[in-house]
């Protein structure tokens, strides 16, 4: 739903920019681009580096940093809410169930490395990280957490 809204805003913004009002078109265009930007984390397991990225149309931006010593990977189920607003007024609110993969290090420090709606895919990624980084998996997708 978010992508449909983003594409609609981009197309409307381009049309208004070209045929009507430059500022209003530019505003809608930038708003649409903001909705289509995705964030995440890339890890290069060979060089033991990572980067937090922002991606737009498949182009990733971010700087590589050395990986800390990871303690475990957590597979966590939660609800994500996306609010759409314009000129200070909330237009719509979208809720969706998602599964986050968080890498924990130095006790309780962590960062999210993946966000998905597919539980099987999340555990495949977690298994790969377990083998590559020699860490445990914490399954927090149910009310009772368990180590795998």
Question: pTM score, two decimals?
Answer: 0.63
| Domain contains 132 | yes
pLDDT tens column, 55-83: 877 788 889 999 889 999 999 998 887 77
pLDDT tens column, 95-137: 888 999 999 998 889 888 888 889 999 999 999 989 888 899 9
Both 82 and 136 in one domain: the answer is: yes
| Domain contains 49 | no
For 100, the domain range is 68-147
Quick one: pLDDT at residue 94? 75
Q: What's the rounded Cα separation, in Å, for the pair 105 and 66?
A: 13
| Domain contains 91 | yes
Both 76 and 141 in one domain: the answer is: yes
Residue 112, number of CB atoms within 10 A of its CB: 15
Both 72 and 31 in one domain: the answer is: no
In Å, what is the CA distance from 103 to each residue of 41, 87, 137? 10, 37, 10
Matching residue, tokens 């208004």: 16
| Domain contains 89 | yes
Matching residue, tokens 């265009």: 29
Both 142 and 72 in one domain: the answer is: yes
Q: How many domains does the chain have?
A: 2
pLDDT tens column, 18-57: 888 888 888 888 888 777 777 777 888 888 888 888 887 7
Residues 6+ apart with CB under 8 A from 95: 79, 80, 81, 82
Q: Are 97 and 79 in contact (CB under 8 A)?
A: yes
Quick one: pLDDT at residue 90? 67
| Domain contains 61 | no
| Domain contains 81 | yes
Q: What's the rounded Cα separation, in Å, for the pair 67 and 118?
A: 26
| Domain contains 143 | yes
Both 28 and 79 in one domain: the answer is: no
| Domain contains 41 | no
Closest CA to 95 of 79, 84, 107: 79
Q: Spell out the alpha helix ranges (H) of the chain.
A: 2-19, 22-36, 119-133
Quick one: pLDDT at residue 120? 92
CA neighbours within 13 Å on the CB side: how many for 80?
Answer: 12
């Amino acid at each position: 739903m978010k992508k449909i809204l983003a594409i609609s805003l981009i197309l409307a913004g381009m049309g208004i920019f070209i045929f009507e009002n430059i500022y209003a078109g530019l505003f809608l265009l930038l708003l649409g681009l903001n909705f289509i930007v995705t964030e995440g984390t890339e890890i290069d397991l060979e060089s033991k580096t990572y980067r937090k990225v922002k991606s737009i149309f498949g182009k990733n931006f971010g700087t590589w940093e050395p990986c800390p010593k990871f303690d475990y990977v957590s597979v966590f189920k939660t609800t994500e809410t996306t609010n759409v607003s314009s000129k200070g007024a909330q237009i719509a609110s979208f809720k969706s169930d998602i599964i986050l993969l968080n890498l924990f290090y130095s006790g309780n420090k962590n960062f999210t490395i993946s966000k998905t709606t597919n539980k099987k895919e999340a555990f495949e990624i977690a298994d790969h990280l377990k083998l590559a980084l020699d860490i445990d998996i914490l399954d927090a997708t149910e009310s009772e957490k368990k180590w795998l």
